[in-house]
Amino acid sequence: MRVTTAFNKMLGISGASVASVTFGPEGAVVGLRRRQRRPVCPCGWRGRGIYDRSVRRWRHLDLGAAKLFLEAEIRRLDCRRCGRVRTEEVPWARPRARHSRDFEDVVAWLAQRTDKTTITRLLRCSWEAVAAIVTRVVAEHVDDARLEGLYRIGVDEVSYRKGHRYLTVVADHDRDGAVVWVGEGKSGATLDQFFAALGPERSHLLQAASMDMHGAYARVTRARATRVRVCADPFHVIKLANTALDETRRAEWNKARRAAGITHPSWGRTRTSPAAQLVKHTRWALLKDPVTLTADQRDSLDQLRRARHVLFRAWVLKEELRDLYRLPPGRRADAHLDAWLARACRSRIPAVVALSRTLRAHRDEILAAVDLGLSNSKLEGLNSKIRLINHRGYGHHSATAVIAMIYLCCSGLTIPLPTGR
Query: Is the Cβ of residue 80 or residue 204 nearer to Zn ion in the bound state?
Result: 80
Residue 173 DSSP label: G
50-63 vs 66-79, strand pairing mode? antiparallel
Residues 285-314 that bind Zn ion (CB under 5 A): none
Does residue 29 sit in helix, strand or coil? strand
- Minimum Å gap between C-beta 174 and Zn ion is 37
Query: Is the Cβ of residue 88 or residue 156 nearer to Zn ion in the bound state?
Result: 88
- Minimum Å gap between C-beta 84 and Zn ion is 8
Residues 74-133 that bind Zn ion (CB under 5 A): 79, 81-82
Query: Is the Cβ of residue 76 or residue 249 nearer to Zn ion in the bound state?
Result: 76
- Minimum Å gap between C-beta 5 and Zn ion is 35
399/183 Cα distance (integer angstroms): 9
Query: Is the Cβ of residue 81 or residue 281 nearer to Zn ion in the bound state?
Result: 81
Half-sphere exposure of 185 (CA within 13 A, CB side): 10
Q: How far is CA 2 from the centre of its chain?
A: 50
Does residue 118 sit in helix, strand or coil? helix
Query: Is the Cβ of residue 81 or residue 250 nearer to Zn ion in the bound state?
Result: 81
- Minimum Å gap between C-beta 74 and Zn ion is 15
- Phi/psi region, residue 47 (left: phi>0; alpha: psi -120 to 50; beta: rest), is beta
Residues 6+ apart with CB under 8 A from 224: 192, 195, 198, 200, 203
- Minimum Å gap between C-beta 362 and Zn ion is 51
- Phi/psi region, residue 281 (left: phi>0; alpha: psi -120 to 50; beta: rest), is left
Query: Is the Cβ of residue 45 or residue 51 nearer to Zn ion in the bound state?
Result: 45
- Minimum Å gap between C-beta 89 and Zn ion is 9
Backbone phi, psi, residue 44, to 5°: 105, -10
Number of residues forming the site for Zn ion (CB under 5 A): 6
- Minimum Å gap between C-beta 94 and Zn ion is 16
Residue 286 DSSP label: H
Interaction mask 16-55, Zn ion, x per CB under 5 A: -------------------------x-x-x----------
Is 324 among the residues that bind Zn ion (CB under 5 A)?
no
Q: Which stretch binds Zn ion (CB under 5 A): 71-79, 128-136, 176-184, 357-365?
A: 71-79
| Dihedral (CA of 77, 82, 85, 88) sign | negative
Binding site for Zn ion (CB under 5 A): 41, 43, 45, 79, 81-82
